Amino acid sequence: MQEPFEQAQVLLQRGRLPEALKLARELARRWPGDPRYWKLLSTVHLRFGQADEAAASLKRSLACAPDDLGNQILYGQCLARIGRRREALAVAESVAGQALEDPALRDGLGTLFSFCDEPARAIKLFDSAVILRPDNMAYRYNLATAQRMTGDMEAAEASLDAVIARKPDDWGSYYTRAGLRTQTPARNHIDAMLRALGSGPPHWSAEVPMCFALAKELEDIGDYARSFALLKRGCDLQRAHMTYDVVSDIATIDRIIERHDGSALSLTDRGFESPECIFVFGLPRSGTTLVERILSAHSQVYGAGELPTFPCQVVQAVKERSGTVVPKFELVELSLKVDPYELGQRYVSETRPQTGHTSKFVDKLPLNYLYAALIRRALPRARMVALVRSPMDSCYAMYKTLFTGAYPFTYDLSDLGRYYCAWHRLMRHWQSVLGEALLVIRYEELVANQEVVSRNIFRHCGLDWEDASLMFHQQDHPVATASAVQVRRPIYASSVGRWRHYAVQLAELARHLESIEE
């Protein structure tokens, strides 16, 4: 007869999450003074993607065992996930002051620093963990991701080569490695990956990243037919194992258009009058990281990356007001009842401890396009820059990217086309109601006329021109997004029109986008 704690762990390992959650809750209720049960409950919440509930459970676990460094690190990671970066960094600094003999603790703390966009500090911790446990490929993989963030692509590739050589079934490593550089006919990993794929991955979730990796490398060498066939195979597998309805997301966007209108912006409640914030948003792979890098090359601007802080503060404020977490459709309405001054002040308070060494900072979370009216209400002096890109190029760029826990509409061409049309309606709406706070930039114009468009962006953001923005690719600031490799190169236009290599395969997508006026 298994003990209940062991039984819950087995359920978790087997993916029987609802049963594991029910049992973990019961154990924590019956023995609230035992930190193991709260930690177990937090683990189940994380598997459900419920980082806020996981953080609450870990806080209870730490109340029972405050000196548990492992739990402190996990708590900090959860705080970072839910946009409470100020608190997450405080946890990281506290743990960093301790003597960490266990390599697992060093790896965990490195992961926390990575979550907080501090990869240089993370690398030192991952390096030391690898030295202590050279046989642990998870530590070496984490080292590679931090090296990628800092732009050391050669070191990242060497680390991933070592992972794959020791652990050839580490399927995610193939995808990460494929994106580190442009592959060539003379130097690629295609044959080795085809053999690995042919041997039969143990699970669909392993097959997906291998398909994406192969598609990327085959596209690099111009083998477009095989590239798209493998890409579609990976996307179809991913979509078949997701519970997602694009209709719900479209309804939410249309609700935002209906409720977050000019009258909502004309309410008399005053927001937080901070001139520090620049928001850059748009669909993923539309050039948001490029614009952030151009802006952060300015001496008075810090590029903060993709901060989840504003959406998280909106959700938290609504939760505090209503007493519960509400579905996204209801959130659209209830978010307008949040005190805009308090929302703006809390956002700045959460972000500035890390970004405060310049007078302005850039938050480039793409999904802030859903919150533009709330940003305008909460931070009336903030500047917003929205990126738009040719619909077919934009959609194809998303389709060929394997996102982690985000953008579920990107794995099916019908979902993708329908979502893009809704997003396009939303952007037209923002242009009509946000006025001078919003500048819309076309990606194609930026890459064709870099200086002209960059000067326009600087004027919009109240910045004097600095020539350093033209050399944005020389910055050593970390990049954690899918564009980490591209933005370390001078500006280029080779991705414009790339979808045309797949015009036949993308015909269904094109039909959905026929009504879009570029």
Neighbours of 435 (CB within 10 A): 11
User: Comparing C-alpha atoms, which of 361, 356, 347 is closest to residue 302?
Assistant: 361
User: Comparing C-alpha atoms, which of 240, 433, 223, 252 is closest to residue 327?
Assistant: 252
Residue 422 · residue 254 · CB < 8 Å: yes
Instruction: Give the pair of three-digit tokens for residue 135.
Output: 């046989």
User: Comparing C-alpha atoms, which of 13, 17, 9 is closest to residue 40?
Assistant: 9
Q: What angle do CA 515, 516, 518 make, to 5 degrees?
A: 145
Most confident of 326-335, 368-377, 471-480: 368-377
CA-atom Rg of the chain in angstroms: 23
Q: Report the distance separating Cα 164 and Cα 64, nearest Å.
A: 40
Question: Which pLDDT band, with edges at 50, 70 and 90, does 377 fall under?
Answer: very high
The predicted pLDDT at position 353 comes to 73
Neighbours of 325 (CB within 10 A): 14
Q: Report the distance separating Cα 387 and Cα 286, nearest Å.
A: 6
Instruction: Give the pair of three-digit tokens for residue 235.
Output: 């996307």
pLDDT, one tens digit per residue, over 159-204 is 999 999 999 988 889 999 999 999 999 999 999 999 999 888 788 8
Residue 49 · residue 405 · CB < 8 Å: yes
- Specify the 3-state DSSP secondary structure of 302: strand
Q: Report the distance separating Cα 360 and Cα 402, nearest Å.
A: 32
Question: Which pLDDT band, with edges at 50, 70 and 90, does 476 fall under?
Answer: low
Instruction: Give the pair of three-digit tokens for residue 213.
Output: 């990796």
pLDDT, one tens digit per residue, over 109-133 is 999 999 988 899 999 999 999 999 9
Q: Report the distance separating Cα 447 and Cα 464, nearest Å.
A: 21
Dihedral class, residue 30 (left if φ above 0, else alpha if ψ from -120 to 50, else beta): alpha
- The DSSP string of 79-112 is HHHTT-HHHHHHHHHHHHTS---SHHHHHHHHHH
User: Comparing C-alpha atoms, which of 36, 25, 79 is closest to residue 56?
Assistant: 79
Confidence check: pLDDT of 412 > 50: yes
Q: What angle do CA 64, 90, 294 make, to 5 degrees?
A: 145
Average pLDDT over residues 293-314: 91
Q: What residue type is 71 in one-letter code?
A: N
The predicted pLDDT at position 429 comes to 97
User: In sequence order, what E strands does 44-84 have?
Assistant: none
Exposure on the CB side of residue 412, measured as CA atoms within 13 A:
16
- Per domain, the residue ranges of the chain are 168-241, 252-512
Question: Which pLDDT band, with edges at 50, 70 and 90, does 488 fall under?
Answer: very low
Q: Report the distance separating Cα 260 and Cα 262, nearest Å.
A: 7
> 252-512 belongs to which CATH class?
alpha beta
- Per cent of the chain over pLDDT 70 is 94
The predicted pLDDT at position 84 comes to 85
The predicted pLDDT at position 200 comes to 81
By CB atoms closer than 10 A (0-12, 13-18, 19+), residue 119 is buried
Name the pTM for this structure: 0.87
Residue with tokens 């519970």: 243
The predicted pLDDT at position 9 comes to 84
pLDDT, one tens digit per residue, over 60-102 is 999 999 999 999 999 999 998 888 888 899 999 999 999 899 9
What is Dmax (Cα atoms) for the chain? 72
Average pLDDT over residues 441-451: 92
